[in-house]
């Protein structure tokens, strides 16, 4: 029987690569975007259907889930990929910026997860895959509120898995490291103080080091392969780190003391 997967945030990057990966493997794919009318790359795949979905709107989510059920019936896998990153000096971040970051990365993910549970519980279960980040377990400079959202996703998912296991619903966390996507390009929201130059030197050092890291970053296809692995995994493995040097850094964070880890990060960014 052909399985169906619903994926959020499919207009670019990891989401788009994941749609293509599952389509090529013969799955029915419900690809959701805020503006699906602009999508051009999925038209050659008859097993891919586009749906309008904004994770910050419960009405939009419920409407999309209803339409997907009508078209495909049972949904075996839901991938919570929609999200973006804010970085910069926390002092300059307004409540609006912080709330928007959490509304998408945390509350949006929770809304999708809740609707997926409602759908999967009566139909025998399924898998919900949360696209977290290595930044949900370790931290770097200038990403304070982004890290806060991903730490929240990790804790939320880990706790929730206990209560939904009885319904044969599995929760998986995919934790990408640096990946070449719009996250570091047009989707980046960088906040730089405009009333003080006190952070300028720190920010310059950070940006220089970050550019070097991205030169060796892998493409979103490697994450899509890992998502497929998580979707077809029959074990109780929860976390799937991917994208060098992410898996290595996660191991080092477990092995090193706070003092040594913080020193390593400071040296990496010449701070």
Q: Which domain holds residue 226?
A: 4-268
| Residue 265 reports pLDDT greater than 80 | yes
| Rounded Cα distance, 233 and 223, in Å | 15
Mean pLDDT of 211-235: 93
Percent of the chain topping pLDDT 70: 98
Rounded to the nearest integer, the mean pLDDT of the chain is: 95
| Residue 186 reports pLDDT greater than 70 | no
Check residue 153 and give its pLDDT. Answer: 98
| Residue 184 reports pLDDT greater than 80 | no
Instruction: Give pLDDT tens digits for 170-182.
Output: 999 999 999 987 6
Instruction: Give pLDDT tens digits for 49-97.
Output: 999 999 999 999 999 999 999 999 999 999 999 999 999 999 999 999 9
Check residue 174 and give its pLDDT. Answer: 98
Query: How would DSSP label each residue in the chain?
Result: ---EEEES--SSHHHHHHHHHHHHTT-EEEEEES-GGG--TTTT-TTEEEEE--TT-HHHHHHHHHHHHHHHS---EEEE-----EEE-GGG--HHHHHHHHIIIIIIHHHHHHHHHHHHGGGT-EEEEEE--GGGTS--TT-HHHHHHHHHHHHHHHHHHHHHGGGTEEEEEEEE-SB-SGGGTTT-EEE--SS--TTHHHHHHHHHHHHHHHHTPBPTHHHHHHHHHHHT--S---EEEESTTHHHHHHHHHHS-HHHHHHHHHHHTT-
Asked if residues 11 and 85 have their Cβ atoms less than 8 Å apart, the reply is no
pLDDT band at 183 (very low <50, low <70, confident <90, very high): low
Residues whose CB is less than 8 angstroms from the CB of residue 152 and which lie 6 or more positions away in sequence, other chains included? 102, 105, 106
Check residue 215 and give its pLDDT. Answer: 83
Asked if residues 81 and 7 have their Cβ atoms less than 8 Å apart, the reply is yes
Residues designated catalytic: 132, 146, 150
pLDDT band at 18 (very low <50, low <70, confident <90, very high): very high
pLDDT band at 211 (very low <50, low <70, confident <90, very high): confident
Check residue 66 and give its pLDDT. Answer: 97
Check residue 185 and give its pLDDT. Answer: 59
Number of independent structural domains in the chain = 1
Check residue 216 and give its pLDDT. Answer: 81
Instruction: Give pLDDT tens digits for 93-138.
Output: 999 999 999 999 999 999 999 999 999 999 999 999 999 999 999 9
| Rounded Cα distance, 241 and 3, in Å | 25
Residue with tokens 């929240």: 152
| Rounded Cα distance, 266 and 76, in Å | 43
| Residue 187 reports pLDDT greater than 80 | no
Q: What is the CATH number of the domain that holds 131?
A: 3.40.50.720
């Amino acid at each position: 029987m052909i399985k169906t997967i619903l994926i959020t945030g499919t207009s670019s990057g990891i989401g788009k690569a994941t749609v293509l990966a599952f389509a090529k493997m013969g799955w029915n794919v419900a690809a959701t975007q805020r503006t699906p009318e602009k999508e051009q790359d999925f038209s050659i795949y008859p097993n891919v259907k586009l749906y309008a979905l904004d994770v910050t709107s419960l009405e939009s989510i419920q409407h999309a889930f209803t339409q997907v059920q009508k078209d495909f019936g049972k949904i075996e896998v839901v991938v919570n990929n929609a999200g973006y990153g804010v970085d910069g000096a926390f002092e300059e971040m307004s409540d609006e910026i912080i709330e928007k970051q959490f509304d998408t990365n945390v509350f949006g993910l929770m809304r999708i997860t809740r609707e997926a549970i409602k759908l999967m519980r009566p139909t025998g279960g399924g898998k919900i895959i949360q696209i977290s980040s290595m930044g949900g377990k370790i931290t770097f400079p200038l990403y304070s509120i982004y890290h806060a959202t991903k730490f929240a996703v990790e804790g939320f998912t880990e706790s929730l898995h206990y209560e939904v296991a009885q319904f044969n619903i599995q929760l998986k966390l995919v934790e990408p490291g640096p990946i070449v996507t719009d996250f570091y390009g047009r989707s980046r929201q960088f906040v730089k103080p405009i009333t003080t130059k006190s952070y300028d030197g720190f920010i310059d050092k950070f940006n220089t080091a970050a550019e070097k890291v991205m030169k060796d970053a892998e493409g979103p296809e490697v994450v899509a392969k890992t998502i497929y692995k998580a979707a077809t995994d029959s074990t109780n493995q929860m976390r799937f780190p991917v994208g060098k040097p992410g898996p290595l850094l996660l191991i080092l964070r477990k092995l090193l003391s706070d003092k040594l880890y913080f020193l390593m990060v400071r040296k990496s960014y010449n701070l």
